[in-house]
Amino acid sequence: MDVVTAPATQQPVERPPLGALSPSRVSDFKTCPLLFRFRAVDRLPEPPSPEATRGTLVHTVLEQLYDLPAEQRTPPAAHRLAVAAWEAIVAADPSLGAMVGPDDAEEWLRSVRDLLDTYFTLEDPRRLEPADRELLVEVELDDGLRLKGVLDRLDASPAGELRVVDYKTGRSPHPLFEQRALFQLRFYALLLWRARGHVPRLLQLIYLADGQVVRLEPHEADLRALERTLRAVAAAIERAFQTHDFRARRSALCGWCPHQALCPEFGGTPPPLPTGSGADEPEATT
């Protein structure tokens, strides 16, 4: 994994206890401060899901695909990579193989192959040479706020224009929720702008479940507004640390939360808040 790090600030600034903000941690806090705490501070384990594991496998294959010579980047090659990557994943964590089950393994791999086949209808990887894949970008703003994220793919034109590409193994969102989906890409655009000094030309979300592509051209004014929003979120997180008040926020998303047993909204009691903890972790791809 390549890393791009922005120059450090000249004057040391006291950093907030949250460590580095990533898109997923910002989304967690805005959805439910207690969920943010469980994931980023307590680091409570969460059981793997078939959807998340499928997403990890597809991302792995799409990263490895570009290690092949251009003429070999074909659907059959991607299928072979999927089998090998799945075997490696199960060898590293046998519980994931048990989650799928031996009787369902072929159907599981077929669902992965279907997503990969959709990818080939949207792009021709034989004609692409990404500048970076799985690129970790970290920056520190002038007030000491640290941001980071992992980009699925970064393309660069001969003129130096950048395109950020993110793969999603789910379906494209309803237009009413599209802006929320694009938040992650705007975050990445902000990282690249602050790390490299110019705004990416294009942001692109590729939805493999239904073959849709969502594109956005970011502008500096939008990224400045996002930066102000992130500073406000960081301040709210810092206040939550100072007051020990990571309050649960009930919503329709609670039904998918793996921590209901510890949530006061469902009669649970959170564990004591750890001291000296930070939320400094790499951004996972989904």
pLDDT in tens, the chain (286 residues): 555 554 444 343 343 456 899 999 999 999 999 999 999 999 999 988 888 999 999 999 999 999 999 999 999 999 999 999 999 999 999 988 888 887 888 898 999 999 999 999 999 999 999 999 999 999 999 999 999 999 999 999 999 999 999 999 999 988 767 777 789 999 999 999 999 999 999 999 999 999 999 999 999 999 999 999 999 999 999 999 889 999 999 998 898 899 999 999 999 999 988 765 555 443 443 4
Q: Do β-strands 212-216 and 202-207 pair in parallel, antiparallel, or remain unpaired?
A: antiparallel
Tally of domains in the chain: 1
On whether residue 64 sits in a domain, the answer given is yes
On whether residue 148 sits in a domain, the answer given is no
Placement of tokens 């970064």 in the chain: 154
Q: Could you give the dihedral angle defined by the CA atoms of residues 251, 252, 256 and 261, in that order, rounded to the nearest 10 degrees?
A: 40
Question: What φ, ψ does residue 48 adopt, rounded to 5°?
Answer: -70, 150
On whether residue 5 sits in a domain, the answer given is no
On whether residue 115 sits in a domain, the answer given is yes
On whether residue 113 sits in a domain, the answer given is yes
**How high is the pLDDT of residue 9?**
42
CA distance 19 to 22: 10
Q: Which two structure tokens, joined as six digits, stand for 28?
A: 């967690």
Model confidence pTM above 0.75? yes
On whether residue 59 sits in a domain, the answer given is yes
Q: Three-state SS across 92-147?
A: HCHHHHHHHCHHHHHHHHHHHHHHHHHHHHHCCHHHCCCCEEEEEEEEECCCCCEE
Residue 100's domain comprises 50-127
**How high is the pLDDT of residue 206?**
97
On whether residue 141 sits in a domain, the answer given is no
On whether residue 73 sits in a domain, the answer given is yes
